[in-house]
Amino acid sequence: MIRQFELVEKVRDYDPAVNEVGINKAYIFAMQKHGSQRRASGDPYFSHPLEVAWLLADMRLDSGSIITALLHDTVEDTDASLTDIKRLFGEDIARLVDGVTKLNKIEIQSDRTKQAENFRKLVLAMSEDIRVLLVKLADRLHNMRTLGFVKSEVSRRRSAAETMDIYAPLAERIGMQPWRDELVDLAFAELNPDARNSIITRLELLRSNGRDLSEKVIVALHKTLSESALNAEVSGREKAAYSIWTKMQRKAAPFEALTDIMAFRVIVGSVEECYRALGAIHGAYQVLPGRFKDYISTPKPNGYQSLHTGVIGPERMRIEVQIRTREMHEIAEYGLASHWRYKQGDAVHDGKQFAWIRSLLDILDEAGGAEEFLEHTKLEMFQDQVFCFTPKGDLIGLPNGATVVDFAYAVHSEVGDHCVGARINGRIAPVRSKLSNGDEVEVLTSKNKTPSPEWGQFVATGRAKARIRRLIRLEQRDQYISLGREVAKAAAAEAGQNFSERMLRPVLKKFKLETHDDLFAALGEGLFTEAELISVLAPKAAPSITKVGEDRQAGKSAASQENTNVKALPLKGLIPGMAVHYARCCHPLPGDQIIGIVTSGKGVTVHVSDCATLEAFSHTPERWLDVDWEEKSLERRVGRVRITLQNSPGALGAVSNTIGRQGGNISNLRFSSRAEDFFELIVDIEVDSLDHLAIIIAALRADSVITTIEREGA
Ligand code: MN
């Protein structure tokens, strides 16, 4: 067992201001309190808090953390009370011990709701003082190291799953990389021992006939760097079994195909030397495409910095090389703990560093019950999560596969509604672009933009989905209103009156509606019929059959009126004299949010702002041209259809709905004849092509309320 003075000396090594009295007092207190208690391994129980304290000392943590580690199980497992702790060790330590004690219950709970509640406590506790989390992680690490002694397979597996789902991601999040790696490996050993064993056996095999190879690589890399006058420390290590396993799964590749199972590390003196070392390695070896990552200019959210690259290195071995300075190495190895070396205690209240914890808390406050919270956090937050940042550095956690639109809605509903694209890590990208961990996302908005129905097909968050659906429903209402207005006009004509909104007042009263728009919407949706309207407007007038010829005449005059609005160019924001093409990939139609791509000599190609093709131009923002449709663009052609419709509630609404869903726009609608059960309509629909019209007709034909439909004048 670790001796009292050994622990104190270990802490003194990195912290001359060690609280020797406090550590000694805690050592004795915990030893006495745990007394003859034993672990599952048969060891005295006290060995556990002692090992936890030792782990924290390995990470060079402050005396407060060490004392908390020694005491962390006393309140829960012995007759010691929190009051005792407060009296003997002070308010600060008591608060820390209380925090850890509350969290201890998390692993005993099998009930999902209780687990969620405990997880909530974990987040709350660590938001107050990150040392609670550090002690908890060390506690978990030691428990995982001794997991084999636990008899029940069920509880072993549960601990392993929790470690994989919650503790390992938390360790990674605060940059405790060695702990994270070990936690993952121990959990992997419990959850999938066969896979882990086979990988380790293969690694051993490889090492037995290739040990000299990695030595040779190190020597050769060292030589390459020396030739560029770089004094570098080079080391090599195998990647962890679990990371090889996930890679095998992700690429669906057999072990043999994974050649880059060795990672080499180059440590140099300065940032400038990092880039020089990179240049030297790229100059000497063939670079593997797509493997270079600059985490120096764009550090990971946990503060990790390094240059990563992949090359076909010495001995024709595919290797990964990580290049960093000594200080970056410290942060990579000790994470958060490295901060204690420079400014003790400050990191505890370092608001910037732990903004992510606050955002966890926000989710917690918004989520309904604890159960839901677990869905949001454990499942969404850790297993399939991407962490992205606003330009101000606020963290936004989103499920995997989340897009710019999801991010925009997570920032604010208004931002989502008006989102037209984003700058991801400084590069312009379209709204449907998927986000990756650590992306900095600046949402680009436009006042005139509204969500398009297609967004609903690619967004990943419920929040975005719900909002888009709501707005599309509102838009649908607009369609119903314009349709209803036409119905009302037709009804007025039918009743032999000149249409005015004023004449509808008795109708509003009769149907108990607030506004004219409410009336039009109800009429458009088919909640009541034209006949009912007429019966209020002109109680004695009988519905008559309108002559088709007259209607066509009226239609023509309406169309020619609209034609006067045609402008030479339907687009705003064009460079004069440039040719315009409409992209075949996305078929922009008036009303779509659009973006122009300039090709010299060819003019401007217009894409829908959601178009996936735009991703190909994300690295050339200078070619992007902000274009928009003119208000009254008549680029679209008008197709005319004749529909025979059942006279049933909602029938008209169904027609307008179907047309709208297929991207058509009703520009004119008239009743050409009507009987009790059926009526015939002539509908003018703005479409982009005959194909488009054919699609709309097919969709209408599928609707059961429609008896016949055919194109007019074809
Ligand atoms: Mn413990």
**Residue 191 dihedral angles phi and psi, to the nearest 5°:** -80, -35
CATH code: domain of residue 660? 3.30.70.260
Identify the pLDDT of residue 395.
65
77 is catalytic: yes
Q: Residue 162, Cβ neighbours under 10 Å: how many?
A: 20
Write down the mean pLDDT value for the chain: 77
CA of 194 to the centre of ligand 1 (A): 29
Q: What is the pLDDT of residue 644?
A: 85
The whole-number pLDDT of residue 368 equals: 45
Given CA atoms 201, 204, 208, 212 in this order, what sign does their dihedral have?
positive
Distance 692 CA to ligand 1 centre (A): 67
112, part of any domain = yes
Burial environment of residue 122 by CB neighbours within 10 A (0 to 12, 13 to 18, 19 or more): buried
**512/527 Cα distance (integer angstroms):** 13
Contact 686, 665 (CB under 8 A): yes
Cα dihedral 488/493/496/497 (nearest 10): 60
The CB-based long-range contact list for 487-493 (8 Å cut-off, 24+ gap) reads 487/520, 487/523, 487/524, 487/530, 487/533, 487/652, 487/669, 488/519, 488/520, 488/523, 488/533, 490/530, 490/670, 490/671, 491/530, 491/533, 491/534, 491/537, 492/537, 493/546
**Contact (CB, 8 A) for 522 and 528:** yes
Tell me, what's the pLDDT at 33? Answer: 94
Query: Are the C-beta atoms of residues 275 and 307 closer than 8 Å to each other?
Result: yes
Banded model confidence at residue 451, pLDDT cuts 50, 70, 90: confident
Is 182 annotated as catalytic? no
Q: Sign of the CA dihedral 200, 203, 208, 211? A: negative
290 pLDDT band, cuts 50/70/90, is confident
Residue 47: predicted pLDDT: 95
Average pLDDT over residues 635-644: 75
For the chain, first and last CA: distance in Å? 94
Identify whether residues 262 and 152 lie together within a single domain: no
Instruction: Examine the domain organization and report whether 118 and 232 are in the same domain.
Output: no
| Cα–Cα distance measured from residue 465 to residue 442, given in angstroms and rounded to the nearest whole number | 21
Residue 126 lies in a domain: yes
Domain termination residue (choose one: 122, 155, 190): 190
Give the span between the Cα atoms of 469 and 15, in whole angstroms: 58
Q: How far is the CA of 331 from the centre of ligand 1 (A)?
A: 26
Closest CA to 125 of 375, 395, 364: 364
- Residues with Cβ within 8 Å of 469's Cβ and at least 6 positions away in sequence, in order, are 456
pLDDT number for residue 443: 93
Look at the chain and report how many structural domains it folds into: 4
pLDDT attached to residue 7: 95
Q: What is the CATH number of the domain that holds 295?
A: 3.30.460.10
pLDDT surpassing 50 at residue 372: no
**Span from the CA of 336 to the centroid of ligand 1 (angstroms):** 21
Cβ–Cβ under 8 Å, residues 51 and 66: no
Q: Specify the higher pLDDT residue, 524 or 167.
A: 167
Residue 345: per-residue pLDDT: 41
Helix (H) or strand (E) holding 501: none
Residues 127 and 241 reside in one and the same domain: no
DSSP 542: P
Q: What are phi and psi of 604, to 5 degrees?
A: -110, 130
Residue 620: its H or E element: none
State the pLDDT at residue 608. 80
Within-domain flag for 33: yes
State in Å: Cα 83 to ligand 1 middle.
20
Residue 617 covered by a domain: yes
The secondary element (H helix, E strand) that includes residue 687 is: strand 678-687
- Alpha carbon distance 120, 115 (integer Å): 9
How far is ligand 1, taken at its centre, from the CA of residue 101, in Å? 9
Q: How far apart are CA 492 and CA 503, in angstroms?
A: 9
pLDDT of residue 117: 55
How much is the average pLDDT of 318-334?
86
| Same domain membership, residue 211 and residue 94 | no
Counting every residue written for the chain, the total comes to 714
Using CA atoms, how far apart are residues 359 and 300, in angstroms rounded to an integer?
A: 17
Q: Which two tokens stand for residue 99?
A: 């925090």
pLDDT at 32 over 90: yes
Of 305-319, 374-388, 527-541, 696-710, give the lowest mean pLDDT range. Answer: 374-388
Instruction: Give the position of tokens 């928009």.
Output: 628
Alpha carbon of 367 to ligand 1 centroid (Å): 30
Q: Please give the pLDDT value at position 337.
A: 59
Distance 23 CA to ligand 1 centre (A): 17
**Which of 316, 338, 360 delimits the end of a domain?**
338
Instruction: Note whether residue 498 is domain-resident.
Output: no
| List 6, 76, 215, 384, catalytic entry | 76
| 602 and 645 both lie in a single domain | no
- Distance (Å, whole) CA 681 – CA 704: 16
Same domain, 105 and 254: no
Domain assignment present for residue 422? The answer is no
Domain around 657: 637-711
**Residue 117, in any domain of the structure:** yes
pLDDT digits (tens, 9 = 90+) for 380-394: 334 446 767 777 766
Q: Is the pLDDT of residue 463 over 70?
A: yes
C-alpha 196 – ligand 1 centre gap (Å): 27
| Helix H or strand E segment including 386 | strand 385-389
Q: How are beta strands 395-399 and 293-294 bridged, if at all? A: unpaired
Of 31-40, 212-221, 270-279, 331-340, which gets the smallest average pLDDT? 331-340
Reduced 3-state DSSP string for 197-226: HHHHHHHHHHHHHHHHHHHHHHHHHHHHHH
**In the prediction, which pLDDT does 344 show?**
40
DSSP codes joined into one string, 240-294 = PHHHHHHHHHHTT--GGG----EEEEEEESSHHHHHHHHHHHHHHSEEPTT--EE
- Going by pLDDT thresholds of 50, 70 and 90, the confidence category of residue 66 is very high
Shared domain for 172 and 208, answered yes or no, is: no
Do 65 and 179 belong to one domain?
yes
Helix axes 63-71, 47-58, angle to 10 degrees: 160
Residue 567 has a pLDDT of 30
pLDDT, greater one: 76 or 588: 76
| 492 in a structural domain | no
Same-domain status, 53 and 177: yes
DSSP code of residue 403 = B
User: How far, in Å, CA of 222 to CA of 235, rounded?
Assistant: 9
Taking the mean position of all CA atoms in its chain, how far away is CA 618? 20
Percent of the chain with pLDDT over 70: 76
**Of the ranges 200-209, 337-346, 461-470, 491-500, which one carries the lowest mean pLDDT score?**
337-346
> Tokens 């506790």, residue?
125
Tens digits of residue pLDDT in 96-112: 898 888 766 544 444 55
Amino acid at 352: K
Q: In which band, very low, low, confident or very high, does the pLDDT at 612 lie, cut at 50, 70 and 90?
A: confident
State the amino acid at position 575 in one-letter form: I
* Strand pairing report for 637-646 and 706-711: antiparallel
The stretch 426-453 carries a mean pLDDT of 82
* Range 684-713 average pLDDT: 78
Separate counts of helices (H) and strands (E) for the chain = 29, 21
- Ligand 1 centroid to Cα of residue 176, in Å, is 19
pLDDT winner (highest mean) among 300-304, 404-408, 449-453: 404-408
- Of 77, 440, 562, 703, catalytic: 77
Using the predicted structure, report yes or no on whether residue 196 has a pLDDT greater than 50.
Answer: yes
Determine the pLDDT at residue 377.
Answer: 42
Q: Are residues 20 and 149 in the same domain?
A: yes
**pLDDT at residue number 78:** 92
Q: Do 207 and 153 fall into the same domain? A: no
- CB 232 within 8 Å of CB 264: no
In this prediction, residues 175-192 reach a mean pLDDT of 90
Q: Where are the beta strands (DSSP E) in 521-636?
A: 571-572, 580-582, 594-599, 603-608, 624-625, 628-629
Q: Which of these ranges, 53-62, 254-263, 592-601, has the smallest mean pLDDT?
A: 254-263
- Is pTM beyond 0.75? Reply is no
Among 274, 309, 338, the domain-final residue is 338
DSSP tag of 459: -
pLDDT for the residue numbered 362: 53
User: Ranked by mean pLDDT, which of 9-18, 632-641, 645-654 comes out on top?
Assistant: 9-18
Structure confidence by residue, pLDDT tens digits, 139-151: 999 999 999 999 9
Q: Please say if the pLDDT value at position 256 is more than 60.
A: no
Range of weakest confidence among 5-14, 158-167, 389-398: 389-398
Cα diameter, the chain: 106
If you measure from the C-alpha of residue 139 to the centroid of ligand 1, how many angstroms do you get, rounded to a whole number?
Answer: 5
pLDDT value at residue 340: 47
Amino acid at 277: A
Q: What pLDDT score does 257 carry?
A: 55
Angle between helices 20-34 and 63-71 (to 10 degrees): 10
Confidence of residue 546 (pLDDT cuts 50, 70, 90): very low
Q: Do 208 and 312 belong together in one domain?
A: yes
pLDDT of residue 254: 64
- pLDDT tens-digit map of 202-225: 778 777 765 557 788 899 999 999
